């Protein structure tokens, strides 16, 4: 086989009749592979003469001076959500004084995941920054299993084992609801993000705790779940108004969803803030350009991006270092919507 036709992980996977993830697990000595699959992969490797690129280099250096910023979302979500662009700016700032190259990787489907897996196994990057973490996402565990330094923006749960940095979502949500109560609001609803994301669960918990601490009941009919999109916020607000027409405030778990909620309120003839006060989360550029301008919880997203880059660089410099868990403060920015 010529030098330009060297076998790849894809070739080995096809010959062994398994997926590329299984091949990578065999190469990394993972126990999460059946004996039958391991034997098939090892036979294919021997038959094809496959050599991982890191081995072919003789491990003269294990550094590529490149890291991947992995976002498991679509291009449309990446373009419409200010959060992602702010994280990218922050990561770039965190790497500015280094010689590290940044690769932006979108993981939208299994094909993208397979390509990322092959890149990781071939050690084309030194580490990974992972944004937008969902509870059932296999990617963080896969990267940890492969032994690749990985830092998360956010976390999967309170038991997160990987290094991560996150905003104080619970405290920010609590402050938002207390602000609405201080404004004299009685029926305070909430529009949550996806509850398979810790950020969505924490902001919902903050709403519940603020009401409970004030002696109020966080009734489930006041909760509407959405997906961090403008369309989701619009639909959730419409549903809340159908169920609880006398609500007089809503805490929305993102500015993008709050923009959709404002449209729904306008369509129903509700004045903001006279009839319904609205508070968002992020304090993104959207908050300053809604009508009326949106009260919002500021989370330091660019600082978050810079922090996860700093943590990853530290782990690359000292692989034996303890895992890092950083909590960044949030603050309420009051505008005309409340």
pTM, full prediction: 0.81
> Is residue 64's pLDDT more than 90?
no
CA 67, 71, 74, 76 torsion-angle sign: negative
- What does residue 296 show for φ and ψ, rounded to 5 degrees? -150, 150
Instruction: Tell me the per-residue pLDDT of 145-203, one tens digit each, with 9 for 90 and over.
Output: 777 899 999 999 999 999 999 999 999 999 999 999 999 999 999 999 999 999 999 99
Q: State residue 28's pLDDT score.
A: 66
CA atoms of 195 and 135, how far apart (whole Å): 9
332 is a domain residue: no
CA atoms of 239 and 231, how far apart (whole Å): 12
Residues 220, 321, single domain; the answer is no
Residues 64 and 149: beta-carbon distance below 8 Å: no
Which of 35, 57, 90, 56 lies closest to 303 in space, CA to CA? 90
Q: State residue 5's pLDDT score.
A: 64
Give the largest Cα separation in the chain, rounded.
76
Domain span holding position 29: 3-51
What average pLDDT score do residues 128-147 get?
A: 85
Residues 276 and 249: beta-carbon distance below 8 Å: yes
Residues 158, 224, single domain; the answer is no
Centroid of chain to Cα 158: 15
Q: State residue 319's pLDDT score.
A: 81
Instruction: Tell me the per-residue pLDDT of 102-127, one tens digit each, with 9 for 90 and over.
Output: 988 888 777 777 777 777 766 788 89
Query: CA angle, corner 204, sides to 308 and 240, nearest 5?
Result: 130
Q: State residue 51's pLDDT score.
A: 67
Q: State residue 22's pLDDT score.
A: 81
Residues 253 and 192: beta-carbon distance below 8 Å: yes
> Is residue 329's pLDDT more than 90?
yes
Report the share of the chain in percent with pLDDT over 90. 61
Q: State residue 165's pLDDT score.
A: 97
Residues 114 and 177: beta-carbon distance below 8 Å: no
> Is residue 69's pLDDT more than 80?
yes
> Who contacts 138 (Cβ-Cβ below 8 Å, separation ≥6)?
none
Q: State residue 58's pLDDT score.
A: 35
Q: What's the total number of domains in the chain? A: 3
Residues 177, 260, single domain; the answer is yes
Residues 110, 156, single domain; the answer is yes
- How many C-beta atoms lie closer than 10 Å to residue 184's C-beta? 9
26-30, 207-211, 231-235: segment of lowest average pLDDT = 26-30
Residues 284, 258, single domain; the answer is yes
Sheet holding 127-131, edge to edge: 101-106, 66-71, 127-131, 150-153, 163-167, 325-328
> Is residue 1's pLDDT more than 60?
no
> Is residue 245's pLDDT more than 50?
yes
Instruction: Tell me the per-residue pLDDT of 264-289, one tens digit each, with 9 for 90 and over.
Output: 999 999 999 999 999 999 999 999 99
- What does residue 305 show for φ and ψ, rounded to 5 degrees? -60, -45
20-24, 137-141, 199-203, 311-315: segment of lowest average pLDDT = 20-24
Residues 127, 14, single domain; the answer is no
166 beta partners: 327
Which of 134, 135, 131, 143 lies closest to 83 in space, CA to CA? 131
Domain CATH for 264: 3.40.50.2300
Q: State residue 54's pLDDT score.
A: 47
Report the share of the chain in percent with pLDDT over 70. 92
Q: What is the mean pLDDT of the chain?
A: 89
Q: State residue 302's pLDDT score.
A: 96
Which of 213, 207, 292 lies closest to 252 in space, CA to CA? 207
Domain CATH for 14: 1.10.260.40
Q: Which helix (H) or strand (E) holds 90?
A: helix 82-95
Residues 277, 316, single domain; the answer is no
Residues 284, 306, single domain; the answer is no
334 is a domain residue: no
51-65, 102-116, 188-202, 210-224: segment of lowest average pLDDT = 51-65
Q: State residue 221's pLDDT score.
A: 97
Q: State residue 30's pLDDT score.
A: 67
Q: State residue 106's pLDDT score.
A: 85
231 is a domain residue: yes
């Amino acid at each position: 086989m010529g030098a330009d036709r060297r076998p790849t992980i894809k070739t080995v996977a096809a010959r062994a009749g398994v997926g590329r993830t299984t091949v990578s697990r065999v190469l990394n000595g993972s126990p999460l592979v059946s004996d039958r699959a391991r034997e098939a992969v090892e036979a294919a490797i021997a038959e094809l003469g496959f050599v991982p690129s890191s081995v072919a280099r003789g491990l003269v250096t294990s550094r590529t001076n490149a890291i991947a910023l992995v976002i498991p979302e679509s291009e449309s979500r990446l373009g419409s959500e200010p959060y992602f662009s702010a994280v990218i700016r922050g990561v770039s700032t965190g790497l500015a004084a280094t010689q590290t190259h940044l690769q932006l990787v979108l993981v939208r489907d299994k094909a993208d995941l397979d390509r990322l897996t092959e890149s990781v196994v071939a050690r084309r990057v030194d580490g990974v920054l992972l944004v937008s973490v969902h509870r059932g996402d296999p990617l963080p565990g896969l990267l940890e299993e492969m032994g690749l330094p990985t830092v998360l923006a956010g976390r999967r749960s309170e038991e997160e084992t990987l290094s991560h940095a996150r905003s104080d979502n619970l405290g920010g949500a609590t402050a938002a609801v207390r602000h609405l109560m201080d404004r004299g609001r009685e029926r305070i609803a909430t529009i949550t993000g996806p509850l398979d994301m810790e950020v969505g669960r924490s902001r919902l918990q903050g709403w519940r705790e603020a009401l409970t601490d004030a002696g109020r009941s966080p009734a489930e009919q006041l909760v509407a779940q959405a997906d961090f999109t403008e369309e989701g916020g619009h639909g959730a607000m419409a549903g809340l108004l159908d169920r609880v027409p006398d609500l007089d405030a809503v805490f929305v778990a993102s500015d993008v969803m709050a923009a959709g909620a404002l449209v729904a309120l306008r369509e129903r003839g509700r004045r903001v803030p006279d009839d319904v006060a609205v508070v968002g989360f992020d304090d993104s550029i959207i908050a300053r350009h809604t009508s009326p301008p949106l009260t919002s919880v500021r989370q330091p997203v660019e600082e978050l991006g810079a922090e996860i880059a700093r943590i990853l660089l530290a782990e690359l410099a000292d692989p034996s270092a303890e895992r890092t868990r950083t909590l960044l403060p949030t603050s309420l920015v009051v505008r005309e919507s409340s």
